[in-house]
Amino acid sequence: MALWCCPLYRRFLRAPCGCYTFLVIVTVVWALLSMIFGFNNSLKDADFIGLTACPACLGTSWCHQFLSGQLKLNFWWRLRLLNFLNHKQVFFGHFRDDRKGWVSVVFKRLASADEILVLDQRLCHEAGLPGHCNVSHAVRFFEKVIQLNTEVASGWSDVLRCPSRLLLQQLAKRHGEDSGVSGLAHFTYTLRLNPEPVILQAFPKSEGWPFPQYLGACGRFIAVVNAGPGLWSFVGAPWYRRAALARDLLNLAEKLTWSDLHFSLYMLDVTFDNFAVDPVDGHPVLVDAENVLVVDREHVREAKPEGWNEWYESDSYNENDVPCEACLTYSYTSLCNHLYHDHNFYAICHNLLGAGARWRGWQGGLLQGAPPYITADGRLITLLQQCEQPTNRFKAPLNVKPKIGCTVDPSPTEAHTS
């Protein structure tokens, strides 16, 4: 019995209560404080990071970095008591890189606690185990039963919505979480929960893709590089800054649509929150890659569905009905069955740039309030309207980017006078 403190207590406090009561109070206060402030590094805690659920988890490639304590949460994100407010389950932190110095990192659980629970129960169910089974057992069983099959996988997430063997193989090949026997489990679990890590690895930042850099996973957390402040924080920026962002967003749309030899990527969730702006080069990055649909263009060329090589222009039939925030009109069939689709351009114009763009009760779009020398000839407004609400009059979506790009691209002198 550690009663060494009792003489201290008697000497300094002289309180009427006994030594044991004092010990209990100290313990309770300590427990409360550490619950609030999380003195221990939560990222080293196997239960907190969901390591015990493996192989029903996102991977283990960065467990060394997590468990050794190299990764740290920033102050406010340590407050475990506040976790229930963190519905998105996104945590901000940092680590020290030998070459780059301090790197700002985002830790993501990729789904809400409820969604994670529902998937666990479904996996247990599919494995023929009771609903509240230990999901790490369910996946082992499940792995043997289901072979990766393009039809089955296409129902799991948007990335595989257009079934293609080549795409599935490519995603699996690039997935760095497949060391050892658990590889298939990590891959399928990730695809079913949220395909973001699969996309970040198959289309990496190092090859010029506009996504954050993927670092690794441990249990049910992934670590990605913090891509910078959200696009939302730029809606009040000076015109030349917003114009440059608009041009870069259209470049991003072009990159996703055309730049790869085999695949076209379409963004299905385009909001001000889902983009960040790189603090170094100022370019926008898509930080939420959950709803990215990938089309294997070679597959379209071979299957030749009706109208496959015609230019496809998005409809926006919901336009005058209900005003809604960040909603897009698209159909999986039209995206999957065309080589040329204007979806990304339409999505950027409709949800971010055009006057009809809405977010958090605000309406206006990134390109509102252009200076008179730009708006004088009315071209910018017309082009934006055409991009935002495609109609049959507008048959060449490819023209949108260069036209708006030129229109909004200010010359350096103009930039200074605005």
Ligand X SMILES: *[C@@H]1O[C@H](CO)[C@@H](O)[C@H](O)[C@H]1NC(C)=O
The footprint of ligand ADP (CB under 6 A) covers 88, 90, 106, 212, 224, 226-227, 230, 273-274, 276, 287-288, 290
Nearest to 266 by CA among 289, 232, 285: 289
158 binds Mg ion per the rule CB under 5 A: no
Among 158, 288, 296, 388, binds Mg ion (CB under 5 A): 288
Q: Which of residues 88 and 165 has its CB atom nearest to Mg ion in the complex?
A: 88
Give min distance, CB of 193 to ligand ADP, in A: 11
Tell me how far apart the alpha carbons of residues 223 and 64 are, in angstroms, rounded to a whole number. 12
Give min distance, CB of 276 to Mg ion, in A: 11
Give min distance, CB of 354 to Mg ion, in A: 21
Q: Which residues, in sequence order, are bridge partners of residue 358?
A: 363
Give min distance, CB of 132 to ligand X, in A: 10
Q: Which of residues 34 and 134 has its CB atom nearest to ligand X in the complex?
A: 134
Tell me how far apart the alpha carbons of residues 9 and 18 are, in angstroms, rounded to a whole number. 9
The residue number with the shortest CB distance to ligand X is 134
- Partner that binds at residue 159, options ligand X, ligand ADP, Mg ion, none, CB closer than 5 to 8 Å by kind: none
- Partner that binds at residue 134, options Mg ion, ligand ADP, ligand X, none, CB closer than 5 to 8 Å by kind: ligand X
Q: Which of residues 136 and 226 has its CB atom nearest to ligand X in the complex?
A: 136
The residue number with the shortest CB distance to ligand ADP is 288
41 binds Mg ion per the rule CB under 5 A: no
Q: What token pair was written down for 361?
A: 């009760």
Give min distance, CB of 137 to ligand ADP, in A: 28
Residue ranges in 17-56 that form contacts with ligand X under rule CB under 6 A: 52
Binding region for Mg ion (CB under 5 A) out of 74-82, 90-98, 280-288, 364-372: 280-288
Q: Which residues, in sequence order, are bridge partners of residue 41?
A: none
Tell me how far apart the alpha carbons of residues 138 and 185 are, in angstroms, rounded to a whole number. 10
DSSP string, 276-333: EE-TTT--EEE---TTEEEEEHHHHHHH--TTTTSEE----TTTTS---TT-----HH
Q: Which of residues 178 and 290 has its CB atom nearest to ligand ADP in the complex?
A: 290
Tell me how far apart the alpha carbons of residues 393 and 413 are, in angstroms, rounded to a whole number. 35
342 binds Mg ion per the rule CB under 5 A: no
CA angle, 17 as apex, 16 and 21 as ends, to 5°? 165
Give min distance, CB of 119 to Mg ion, in A: 18
Tell me how far apart the alpha carbons of residues 31 and 16 are, in angstroms, rounded to a whole number. 23
Omega prior to 372 cis, within 30 of 0: no
Which residue has tokens 């690895």? Answer: 201
Tell me how far apart the alpha carbons of residues 363 and 218 are, in angstroms, rounded to a whole number. 40
Say if CB 371 and CB 239 are below 8 A apart.
yes
CA angle, 223 as apex, 35 and 53 as ends, to 5°? 65
Give min distance, CB of 125 to ligand ADP, in A: 25
Give min distance, CB of 46 to ligand X, in A: 9
Tell me how far apart the alpha carbons of residues 1 and 358 are, in angstroms, rounded to a whole number. 65
Q: Which of residues 32 and 117 has its CB atom nearest to ligand X in the complex?
A: 117
Binding region for Mg ion (CB under 5 A) out of 107-115, 175-183, 206-214, 285-293: 285-293
Tell me how far apart the alpha carbons of residues 61 and 81 are, in angstroms, rounded to a whole number. 28
How many of the chain's residues bind Mg ion (CB under 5 A)?
2
- Partner that binds at residue 251, options ligand X, Mg ion, ligand ADP, none, CB closer than 5 to 8 Å by kind: none
How many of the chain's residues bind ligand X (CB under 6 A)?
3
Residue ranges in 217-276 that form contacts with Mg ion under rule CB under 5 A: 274
Q: Which of residues 217 and 326 has its CB atom nearest to Mg ion in the complex?
A: 326
Burial of 43 (0-12, 13-18, 19+ CB in 10 A): buried
Residue ranges in 103-162 that form contacts with ligand X under rule CB under 6 A: 134, 136
Residues that bind Mg ion (CB under 5 A): 274, 288
Residues that bind ligand X (CB under 6 A): 52, 134, 136
